[in-house]
Each structure stands twice: as structure tokens, then as C-alpha cells.
Chains A and B, each alone.
Chain A
Amino acid sequence: MTTPQPPPKTGGGAVRDSFGDLPLLKQEGAGGWSNVAQANKPETINMKKQITVTVNGQAHTAEVEPRLLLVHLIRENLNMTGTHIGCDTSSCGACTILLDGKSVKSCTILAVQANGKSIATVEGMCAPGAPLSNLQEGFKENHGLHCGFCTPGMMMRATELLEMNPDPTEDEIRWGISGNLCRCTGYNNIVKAIQYASAKNRGVEPASTEPQFV
């Protein structure tokens, strides 16, 4: 096996002792980290605002910094991690949720902007243990997901798409989800998944979910 670079600088067995004085760390004053934060509080950033949002039918109140992104509110304050983050330029759609029924990229909205509004996320698509919704079932039956990272955002976008257009053509589906990137599936089966849900929503028998080969 190759020996890694570089040779050890700290020797011997008393490994942890050799890190005793933690030169990288700022002194942890008597009050711990928060003490330091208090001393340097810039009013504008830290002035927290109270907001109330309804997520999947349940009201939540939170104290948030005005700059907090909605996606972080959902993922980190409310611990609903089904909504994902895939970029920093509003390009990928992994963070898509419904805000008052409209699909939006929650990385591009401040949490305070959602105050008083209602939010739907993937966690609300079906209760734990309950049967999958038509869209979820469509994705499963048609292999519309591989790694699953884009899937929640994709399904939230598709939810609104089918509400606006219950029986979309393939082209309308492709354009309709063009704000959501998937790196794994090549989209064929996502299109089929949405067609499946569309059929089921309308009470029509969906097309076969067996893979078709030439």
C-alpha cells in the first residue's frame, strides 16, 4: 500500500494531549459560544421576526432571521428534510414546494415571505403507512426515480402541472417540468409517471408500466 504524504509531525501515544491548547479556536468564554454572538450582534441581521406558516395542514410558528430562506425553514427549523437543495442559482428545482397551491422554488423565497401562507411538501403527499398518492405511485410503477434526490421537487411541480392541465401531452409535460433537473433518469420515465397519475386522476386506466423495448 502506498504510504501517504506527509510524515507525522506529532508523535507518540499521547495523541489527544498534543492538541491541548487548540490554537485554532477562539477562547470559549464563560458563557460559551452564545456569549460571543451576543457581544457582536448586528441589529439588522439578528432582528428576528415571528412568522406562522401552515405546512401540510399543520400550523407552525417560528422566530426567524429575515434573511432565512424558506427551504432552510422547512428543512432545518421544521425538520422536514424531504425538500432538497441542489443549487444556488434557482436552477435545479430540487427545492420545489407548493406555496398557496403554486409551485415555487423554496430556495428563492425568504421564510418571512411565507408568513401566513400555506405550504405543501412531499411529506404531505400521503400519511405514513397510507397508500401512495397517484403521482407517487406513478413514479414507483414507472421507475421515475433513481437516486430520489430530484423526486420530491419533481412531484411537487407535477402536482401543480396536473392541476392546471389534467391531461397534458408529452410535450406539455416536458416543458412543464423543465425547471426541474434530474441527472439520473433521462426523463422518459418521469414523463410516464406523470402520464400515469394524470390517467388515474381522471379515472382512466393508465398505460402499461412494463418497460417497452424496440
Chain B
Amino acid sequence: MGHSMKRKEDARFLQGKGNYVDDVKLDGMLYMDIVRSPYAYAKITKIDSEAALKVPGVLAVVTGRDLETYGLHWMPTLMSDTQMVLPTDTVMYQAQEVAAVIATSRYAARDGREAVRVEYEPMKPVIDPFKALDPSAPVLRTDKPGKTDNHIWHWEVGDKDKTEAVFSTADVVVKEQMHIPRIHVASIETCGCVADYNKIDNHLTMYMTTQAPHAIRTVIALVAGHVGLTEEKVRVIAPDIGGGFGGKVPVYPGYVIAIAASFLIGKPVKWIEDRSENLQADSFARDYHITAEMAGTKEGKILATRFKVLADHGYTDASANPSKYPTGMFSIATGSYDYGATFMEADAIYTNKPPGGVAYRCSFRVTEAVHAIERMTDRFAFEVGKDPAQLRIENFIKKEDFPWHSPTGWIYDSGDYEAGLRKAMDAIDYEGLRKEQVEKRAEGKLMGIGISTFTEVVGAGPSKDFDILGIKMFDSAEIRVHPTGKAIARFGTKSQGQGHETTYAQIIAEELGIPAENIQIEEGDTDTAPYGLGTYASRSTPTAGAAAAVAARKLRDKARKIAAYLLEVSEDDLEWEPGKFFVKGAPEKAKTIQELVFAAYTNHPQGMEAGFETTHYYDPPNLTFPSGAYICVVDIDKETGEIKVRRFVAIDDCGNIINPMIVQGQVHGGLTQGIAPAMYEALVYDEDGNILNGTLMDYLVPTAVESPNWETGHTITPSPHHPIGAKGVGESPTVGAPPAIANAIVDALSPYGITHLDIPITPFKVWKALREKGVV
């Protein structure tokens, strides 16, 4: 623990020997390609496969009508809505799957795709979510009996009346309308699978890009159990995953069609989407329109907040959220501040856009929440004329007030927000920067300093509140120690680059005293690993990492019994130091863990169960609440609107740190996925529902040039309830960085009366805002 061990998984990746889904090659494997809709909303009048079936190598064209025969044309979403696998009569978004072509090669499948003729009758789509509830808007989900509008659900939390009362009497009320736009995770590996159905054994092996293999196996069994694919007949293997970030949690239609095709043909079927399909059809993230308000005193004390959200879900609610939380953890939006009144509400809307609502490296809508509260905190500071750092310090929940009960019902486990902010201010020389800013402003130059002091909520979650499709969100670890004292451990999670093979080994090494080099970690095979809900929402360390520690402690208890037997002393006379038990006061009388494990197989006490292995399912008592203090400095060119991030300091508090190198790496990566939506990325649609930037040529993933040289550090406030005091970190920076950047840019522009700009804040937006304020 606390040691920057180099990663065990790197050797294969560095030598080109990773095993990603597209590397899987099976005998007789066929290829699938997908015909997609050019329209956002249209009736399908005809699908003509004749020419496609004449293309050399093409074996089959699968349509919604074909799947309907087997009851497989619809499937449930993770939020218990329904989603088409393939349409039988209507397409609901541009790039929706319309038919699939199965062929003997990748190229033949693509030729076949080009040859499928589909006739459509286009209809006027609903694109603007604000117009979707207009009585004149067409009702999109006509498949739902009795549905008379495009409203999905209403959600609210907090105390409406109390909040109203505070707002009506407060000295200062600030309000902004903001959009957290639709973005895409764009992991460098797209999604795909090889579905390998074996007709003789009636068994499906599914190699797929999934962050949650066990849950997926259950979903497959639920959807296809009626055609014989019951859960014991399904094996899901998530091999190496080339980045996930939430985009590899859902079940996409392509997976299901590939399974159906393999099932019918009896040969393995590979489907690998290309990048444009990935950007245009796979789950989006965000797309929250938020009306945000903050009330406070003129001295700068925050008294209340109010947030009203319009959530554009596309044509179905396919969010990846725990069942009880349709807005995920948005209710963390009260932030790091000590006040008692809030009211939040959200309405979800159907539109003719792709479905989704996944993470983009964020645990369940926390990014939207943090953006709202951190932008409004700056907005409020500006209004009362107070330095935003000072205002934050005065409003923070104090470290002695933890565990802290938030007005929306969360119990923050621990934190020391002021320590983090002060550390960030020192690291960046906040005072010096403010002085420089005064000078720059006098010269007419635009320089801005932005702060974000956020609280994350991760590690879902306690089974009393958290489930996905009814499955509780525990996670698991199984440790087997072989007679010679070397171990293999398996987990219900699945790394997509987070380094689990190293950090889990370090946790077990710490608890059991077996060197991490001698502990092999495996995940992602449902036939061998214990059940778990997978890796997303920064939950692996809080759940499976905890399971590893508890399982190792169970084994240590067994080792103590064996040591007492071998040393002929009572268990109470033994003391543990990593790697051995020794007799109190007689350290030379000792047994190493390796000796004790060997004895478990060769010389165990009569009556004791032989062997040295255990499994633990960890059900966390609470979530964990990592936090961070980020400060960003920008320089803006008045003439062009060009924004340069001069410095960015990130101080994270993720509790105890297992591997500082990996934690820092996670923070670097998360920060780049923070600057991305803040300045570059958004999926843009025109009024007909055409996506305007559906390729990597125009969807701007930051390169090494846009990405600043990140400066990172940490404070450590252990989680009091986690077995090793860790909290999880993968997403904190993605959550915390956008408001720091937005606040810096708005701070630079504030002398001209600009109080808010929606992300992504591009040079054009800045240029335009300045022109509108008369700055030439």
C-alpha cells in the first residue's frame, strides 16, 4: 500500500499481445455489419435484401421482422424502459440499426450492407427537448399503450417549501440557465463482440466489450432464456478492454443481433462497430438542461439552492443508473457547502436522438451536479463581490462536522475541504495570480482564475438502496492461495485500463503478506470469476477492493489458527506482522504465511477445513465521498477568443492511496476528459436530427497539444467505513475539472458583465460573447 508498484498488466500491452475483442479469431467465424437509418424519424416501408444476398460472401440479412418471429426485436434497457433491437416499422433516431448483414468476411459484410435497399417515409422529428412536451409535438413512443406525451418521468428531492421561504427572503438570489451538452465517451477501442453459439452443447460464449460481464450474462439469460439461452448456458468473457468510461456498460442492439445470428447459423459471428457508428449510435452522456439558482446573504453565506432539470434521453431511457435513482446521484448538487435548504427536480423527455445516459467517466450524473453547484458558487461570489476562494472557505462543511447529513439525504463519510483548497492555492500561488490579474486587467488583457471544490459520491452501493435491474450492487473477491504460497484472485469487476491486476494484488499483499508479484488477478470471465456488478462509477476500489481486503482478512484468521496449532500456543498469544505470525515476546518463534498456507494443505489441524481459499461478497455500508480542489488559470486572446490553459493544479482527496502512480495516472486521464467537454466536445444535431459531428474528424477528442501539463497532488482523509480507508478516484477529475475551467474563462470575461457561458466554451463562443458586450 502506498507504493508506486509498476503495473503487472503492462508487459502484454507493450509487446502487442493484449487480447482485445477484435483480436479474437475463431474457426469459421462470420462477420456482421449493420445497415443504419439516414433519418431521425421515419416509417420503414420496405427492406429489400435481394441485391445484398447476391453479394459474394453474404449469407443472411437480418431484419426486425425476422427477430420478431422469436420475440427478440425489443429488449429491456437498464432503466426498465424498452429499446428496439431492430425496428419492425419505425426508426427513432439517425444511425439507428435497421438490418444486419452476415457474411464470410468483413469486406463482404460491408458490401452487403451497401446493397440493402431500405425505403423510408420520413416524419418530422422531435429534436428540441423543450418542444417535446408541446401539445402539438408528435407522441414518439406509440409502442407504449396509452402514452399521450413525450414525458418519461418526474423526479424531485429536497424541501420545496422551506427552500421557497429562504429564496423569498434572501438578500441575494442568482440564477443561470445552463446546458451540460450531450457528449460521447469515445474510448479508443469501439464496441464489439464475437458471439459463439455452439449448437451441439446449446452453449453461447460471448466475447464482448463490457464493463459488467456478470450483469450482462444475467440480462442475456433474461432476454433469451425463452429460446434456450438460460444462464448456465451463457459464458460472457470480457477480454482486454480498450477504455470504457461508461460506454461499455449498456447492451447495444449489435450485441443482441450478433447473438441471434450466431444462434441461428451455428457459427461464431463477429461484430465490431466502426468509429462513426460508435459516436452516432452508442450511448451518449449528459444532456441536462439545468435552471440553477442560489440564494444567500450579502456577506456571502450560501443559504439555499434550487435546480430544475430537463433531461433529454433520446427515444428511450437507456441510462445506466441504479434503479432507485433515475437522475443518478444528481442530488449531490448541494456540493461541499454547509446549508440546509435545497429543492431539486427533473423531468425526462423522449426525443428523436440516440438513447443513453451513461457515465463519460462520471459516477451517475455527478458531473452535471458539480457543474451546476460550482458554477453557481462562483456566480454568487461575483454577485456579492467576494473572492471565490474566500467564499468557499467560509461556506465549507467543516472537517469536524463529518459524517455530514446533506439536505438531500446523503451521509458524507469524511472530508477536509479547506485543507485541499489551501494546498491548491499554495501550489498555484493564488495570491500572486490575483495580483497579476489586476495588472493584466489594467493593461486590457484577459486572464482568469477558476476554482472548483467538489464532492464526489462513488462506490455504489449499499444493497438497501442500490441495484441495477434488481441485482444488488455488491461486489466480490475470491482468493485462492496455492500450497506453495502463491495466489490467484478473481473479481466481479472488470478493468478497462485502471490497473486492477496491480492494485488488487497490492491490497491482498498488504493484508496477507504474500508479495504482489506472486498474486495473479483475473476478471471478466463469468465462468470463473465470482458474481459482481462490474467496473464503472469509481466503484471497484470501494466495493471489490474492499472485498479483497475482507477476504484476505478471513484467510489471515485461518492462518492464525494454523499458526497456533503449529506453534502450540493459543491464538491470542500470536501477533501478526505482514508476512508472518509470531509468538508475543518471542519473535523467533514464528511461521511465515507461506509455511502456514503449505500446512493448510499438508498438515492442517484435524477438524479444520483443508485448503486456503475464500470468497467474499462485500456490501458497502455507505458510499464513499472523495473530494477535490482544482484551480485553473487561463489567458484569453481578446481578438480571436482563443483560450490558453496556462496552469491547472488538481488536489484530490480519495482517502488512502493504494498505488500513487496509478492514482495520479487516473487523475491525469480524468482531467483530460474534463477539459474535453469544457472546451471541445459536444454532439451536435440539426433540427432534422442529423448529427453534425459524428466522426473523429469533427468530434474533438483532445490531443497531447490541447491537453495541458497537469499538476496534481493530494490530501488524505480516509474513509472511516472502508476496510482500507480508500474512496475511489477514477472519475473525480472528470467531474471537477469542467467547472474549474468554465469558472476561469468566465472570470476572465467578468469585467465585461459576462456571468455564464455554456460548455464547451470555444473560441468562437468567447469571441461572440465579447462582441455582444461591445468589445471590439
Contacts and interface: CB of A to CB of B under 8 A. Distances in A.
Contacts of B704: 173-175, 177-178, 180, 182, 187, 190-191
Contacts of A76: 25, 106
B381 interface: no
A136 interface: yes
Interface stretch (B3-11, B297-305, B551-559, B576-584): B3-11
A8 B226 contact: yes
Interface residues of A, number: 95
B16 A25 contact: no
B187 interface: yes
Which of B54, B59, B243, B662 has the most A CB atoms < 10 Å from its CB?
A: B243
A87 B187 CA distance: 10
26 contacts: A4-B219, A9-B71, A22-B264, A25-B264, A26-B60, A40-B56, A72-B106, A75-B22, A87-B696, A121-B16, A125-B15, A125-B16, A143-B6, A146-B497, A146-B666, A149-B20, A149-B187, A149-B243, A150-B188, A151-B13, A173-B704, A175-B705, A177-B704, A187-B704, A188-B707, A190-B704
A187 B660 CA distance: 17
B190 interface: yes
Interface in B643-681: 649, 651, 660-662, 664-673
Contacts of A45: 111
Interface stretch (B364-372, B561-569, B708-716, B740-748): B708-716
Interface in A1-38: 1-11, 15-16, 18-19, 22-26, 33-34, 36-38
A194 to B, nearest CB: 10
10 shortest A-B CB distances, which residue pairs?
A: A82-B16, A148-B13, A147-B497, A149-B242, A186-B668, A8-B226, A146-B497, A15-B228, A37-B56, A1-B470
A211 interface: yes
Nearest to B63: A24
Contacts of A34: 104
A33 B57 contact: yes
Contacts of A75: 22-23
Interface stretch (A89-97, A98-106, A195-203): A89-97
A116 interface: no
B483 interface: no
B496 interface: yes
Given A37-B104, A148-B10, A188-B710, A211 B664 contact: yes
Interface string B187-230: 11110000000010010000000000000000100110011100
Interface in A40-81: 40-42, 45-46, 65, 67-68, 72, 75-76, 79-81
B76 interface: yes
A41 B264 contact: no
Given A10-B227, A82-B15, A186 B707 contact: yes
Contact of A80 (B16, B649, B666): B16
Given A25-B265, A86-B190, A181-B188, 20 more contacts: A7-B226, A8-B71, A25-B60, A25-B264, A33-B59, A41-B56, A79-B25, A81-B19, A81-B22, A84-B242, A92-B275, A132-B14, A141-B6, A143-B665, A145-B14, A147-B187, A148-B12, A190-B704, A191-B709, A213-B664
A153 B760 CA distance: 29
B189 A86 contact: yes
A76 B713 CA distance: 44
Contacts of A151: 13-14
B53 interface: yes
Contact of B15 (A85, A91, A123): A123
Given A143-B661, A145-B10, A1 B17 contact: no
A148 B427 CA distance: 32
A165 interface: no
A107 B102 CA distance: 23
A18 B7 CA distance: 50
A211 B4 contact: yes
B275 A86 contact: yes
B471 interface: yes
Interface string B97-132: 000000010111001000000000000000000000
A19 B263 contact: yes
Interface residues of B, number: 108
Interface in B221-245: 222-223, 226-228, 240-243, 245
B242 A211 contact: no
Contacts of B720: none
B750 interface: no
A163 interface: no
A12 B84 CA distance: 25
A40 B103 CA distance: 14
B697 interface: yes
Nearest to B665: A143
B396 interface: no
Contact of B202 (A16, A79, A84, A214): A16
Contacts of A84: 20, 22, 188-189, 242
A207 interface: no
B451 interface: no
Contact of B695 (A91, A175, A185): A91
A22 to B, nearest CB: 6
Given A15-B227, A177-B704, A182-B188, A89 B104 contact: no
A146 B669 contact: yes
A82 B242 CA distance: 12
**Secondary structure dominating the interface of B:** mixed
Nearest to B671: A186
Interface of B: 4, 6-7, 9-20, 22-23, 25, 53-62, 66, 68-71, 73-76, 80, 82, 104, 106-108, 111, 185-190, 199, 202, 219, 222-223, 226-228, 240-243, 245, 261, 263-265, 274-276, 423, 427, 469-471, 496-499, 649, 651, 660-662, 664-673, 695-697, 701, 703-705, 707, 709-714
A88 interface: yes
B564 to A, nearest CB: 41
Which of B71, B188, B202 has the most A CB atoms < 10 Å from its CB?
A: B188
A94 B186 CA distance: 13
Contact of A181 (B12, B241, B701, B711): B701
B14 A136 contact: yes
A210 B5 CA distance: 10
B233 to A, nearest CB: 10
A139 B696 contact: no
B683 to A, nearest CB: 16
A189 interface: yes
B705 A5 contact: no
A146 B60 contact: no
Contacts of B276: 88-89
A178 B6 contact: no
B712 A213 contact: yes
Contact of A10 (B71, B188, B496, B660): B71
A117 interface: no
Given A86-B275, A88-B695, A145 B188 contact: no
Given A26-B53, A92-B696, A214-B712, A86 B15 contact: no
Nearest to B675: A186
A147 B535 CA distance: 14
A126 interface: yes
A2 B696 CA distance: 37
B275 A2 contact: no
A10 B671 contact: no
B57 A37 contact: yes
Contact of A149 (B189, B261, B703): B189
Interface in A102-157: 121-123, 125-126, 128, 132, 136, 139-141, 143, 145-152, 155
Contact of A5 (B54, B76, B498): B76
Contact of A148 (B56, B497, B662, B710): B497
